[in-house]
């Protein structure tokens, strides 16, 4: 057992921070077995104490929507809307991942960058290429970081280089599901139809069956763009809406499900999301960059819909979830300008999305409560704060002004994660 001492700050609920000045967290077997303001209260007098002094100890970041193969395109083509951006930049880049050597080069850089910005768990889109997807999963495993990695399924409205048969898609998904059977493993597969416009009914049906048979989680995109929504209406006329189309194929809460964006989800779709426990991956940077709109996070909160934060590289231009907190607050303030009844997000709410709520998609992750995995960051912010700042003020200043230079240590499920190798 180890006990870590520092200024501890985390969120049990989204409305407020839990703060322990010079507090202690006890960790055994990778999981938290106690948190207290004084060492004696932990009841483990023989434990090794690691004292981080005046540093902050916070839960690690969780990125619940990111496209690993788009890492090379980060920060370009930001003047296009969604569908032209996909056709002209994203699909050509993803086609290159049939080459396992190219995939390894980009994926190593991607995993290393996630580590750098303090993201210890991620929900990741790969490509249709099974071997490249498996290599990405191996790289996360080697790094000691958590991930749900999806071999993407797509067989219509896609370039030939990114189109595969339903049979080939199922074969690839089955291989990954059989290889990564352990439900307690840090790295697992996730069923990943890209979105309804790129999947025929047979492909969607096969994805739903895979999720059911192997009890795998599901990820996709939902109501991101008005043109996309109109296309879904034309492709799925028997469905009541975009979310209902996923539901009809077993892809909307029948197993744990996360849907990215949800910018234009109407009341009926939100009702289905709540009923199915579907989590929203809020990607504020991407929504602005590809001109999708502003997701109504306050409405999701008011309707008891879970919300995490995603970088959505490369629709988003930054991998840092700390930056996504800032953008989420700023987006909510734009909503407030239009409707003063829709209160903008507080810092604790944004932090809760990035930690406990987003982390809940991986299990007991994202908090310092008993029984949770010890996923944590140690923040050495001595160059960012005056002596009279409170612990919440220090955290806020780091979120807005800090970067990887202030992250002194990173932990995932109790083990310190060192910088992954690069080539």
Within a 13 Å sphere around the CA of 267, how many CA atoms are in the beta-carbon half?
Answer: 0
* Average pLDDT for 173-188: 96
Share of the chain above pLDDT 90, in %: 92
* Predicted confidence (pLDDT) at residue 423 exceeds the cutoff of 90: no
Query: Average pLDDT, whole number, for the chain?
Result: 96
Q: How confident is the model at residue 85 (pLDDT cuts 50, 70, 90)?
A: confident
Which region holds residue 152: left if phi is over 0, alpha if psi is between -120 and 50, else beta?
beta
Which DSSP helix (H) or strand (E) runs through 420? none
Mean pLDDT over 110-119 rounds to: 98
51 pLDDT above the threshold of 80: yes
Q: Are 294 and 287 in contact (CB under 8 A)?
A: yes
Parallel, antiparallel, or unpaired for β 152-153 and 146-150? unpaired
What's the CA gap between 211 and 192, in Å, rounded?
A: 10
Q: Is the predicted pLDDT of residue 78 greater than 90, yes or no?
A: no
Provide CB contacts within 8 A for 307, sequence distance 6+: 279, 280, 282, 297, 300, 301, 353, 357
Residue-level pLDDT at 27? 98
Mean pLDDT lowest among 33-37, 268-272, 281-285, 340-344: 340-344
- pTM more than 0.95: yes
Tens digits of per-residue pLDDT, 214-237? 999 999 999 999 999 999 999 999
Residue 161 has a pLDDT of 96
- Residues 262-289 as b or e (16 or more Cβ within 10 Å = b): bbbbeeebbebbeebebbbbbbbbbbbb
How far are the Cα atoms of 6, 20, 24, 359 from residue 38, in angstroms, in the given order?
11, 9, 7, 27
Find out whether the peptide bond into 90 is cis, omega within 30 degrees of 0.
no
Whole-angstrom Cα distance, residue 229 to residue 206?
22
- d(C-alpha 59, C-alpha 373), whole Å: 10
Burial (CB count <10 Å: 0-12, 13-18, 19+), residue 87: middle
Please provide the DSSP assignment of 12-23 as one string: SSTT--EEEEEE
Say what the pLDDT of residue 84 is: 84
Q: Is 305 left (phi over 0), alpha (psi -120 to 50) or beta?
A: beta
pLDDT in tens, 357-409: 999 999 999 999 999 999 999 999 999 988 899 999 999 999 999 999 999 99
Question: What pLDDT shows up at residue 240?
Answer: 96
pLDDT computed for residue 342 by the predictor:
83
pLDDT band per the 50, 70, 90 thresholds, residue 81: confident
Model pLDDT, residue 330: 97
Residue 96 has pLDDT above 90, yes or no: yes
Which structure tokens are listed for 415?
A: 């083990």
């Amino acid at each position: 057992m180890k006990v870590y001492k520092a200024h501890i700050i985390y969120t049990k609920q989204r409305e407020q921070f839990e703060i322990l000045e010079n507090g202690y967290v006890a960790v055994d077997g990778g999981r938290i077995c106690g948190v207290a303001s004084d060492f004696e209260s932990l009841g483990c007098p023989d434990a090794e104490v690691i004292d981080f002094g005046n540093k902050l100890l916070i839960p690690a970041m969780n990125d619940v929507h990111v496209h690993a193969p788009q890492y090379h395109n980060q920060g370009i083509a930001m003047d296009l809307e969604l569908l032209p951006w996909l056709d002209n930049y994203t699909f050509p880049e993803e086609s290159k991942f049939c080459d396992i050597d190219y995939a390894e080069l980009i994926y190593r850089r991607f995993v290393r960058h996630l580590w750098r910005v303090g993201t210890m768990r991620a929900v990741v889109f790969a490509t249709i290429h099974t071997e490249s997807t498996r290599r990405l999963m191996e790289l996360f495993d080697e790094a000691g970081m958590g991930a749900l990695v999806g071999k993407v399924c797509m067989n219509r409205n896609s370039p030939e280089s990114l189109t595969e048969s339903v049979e080939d898609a199922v074969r690839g998904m089955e291989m990954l599901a059989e290889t990564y059977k352990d439900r307690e493993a840090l790295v697992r597969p996730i069923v990943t139809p890209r979105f309804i416009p790129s999947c025929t009914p047979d492909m969607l049906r096969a994805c739903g069956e895979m999720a059911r048979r192997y009890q795998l989680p599901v990820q996709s995109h939902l109501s991101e763009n008005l043109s996309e929504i109109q296309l879904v209406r034309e492709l799925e006329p028997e469905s009541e809406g975009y979310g209902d189309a996923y539901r009809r194929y077993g892809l909307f809460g029948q197993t744990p499900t996360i849907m990215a964006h949800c910018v234009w989800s109407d009341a009926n779709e939100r009702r289905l999301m709540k009923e199915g426990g579907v989590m929203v991956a809020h990607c504020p940077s991407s929504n602005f960059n590809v001109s999708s709109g502003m997701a109504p996070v306050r409405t999701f909160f008011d309707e008891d819909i879970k919300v995490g934060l995603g970088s959505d590289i490369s629709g988003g231009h930054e991998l840092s979830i700390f930056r996504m907190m800032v953008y989420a607050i700023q987006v909510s303030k734009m909503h407030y300008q239009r409707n003063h009844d829709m209160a903008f997000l507080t810092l604790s709410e944004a932090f809760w999305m990035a930690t406990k709520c987003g982390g809940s998609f991986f299990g007991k992750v994202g908090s310092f409560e008993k029984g949770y995995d010890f996923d944590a960051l140690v923040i050495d912010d001595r160059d960012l704060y005056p002596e009279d700042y409170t612990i919440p003020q220090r955290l806020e200043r780091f979120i807005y002004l800090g970067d990887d230079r202030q992250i002194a240590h990173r932990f995932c499920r109790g083990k310190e994660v060192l910088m992954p190798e690069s080539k």
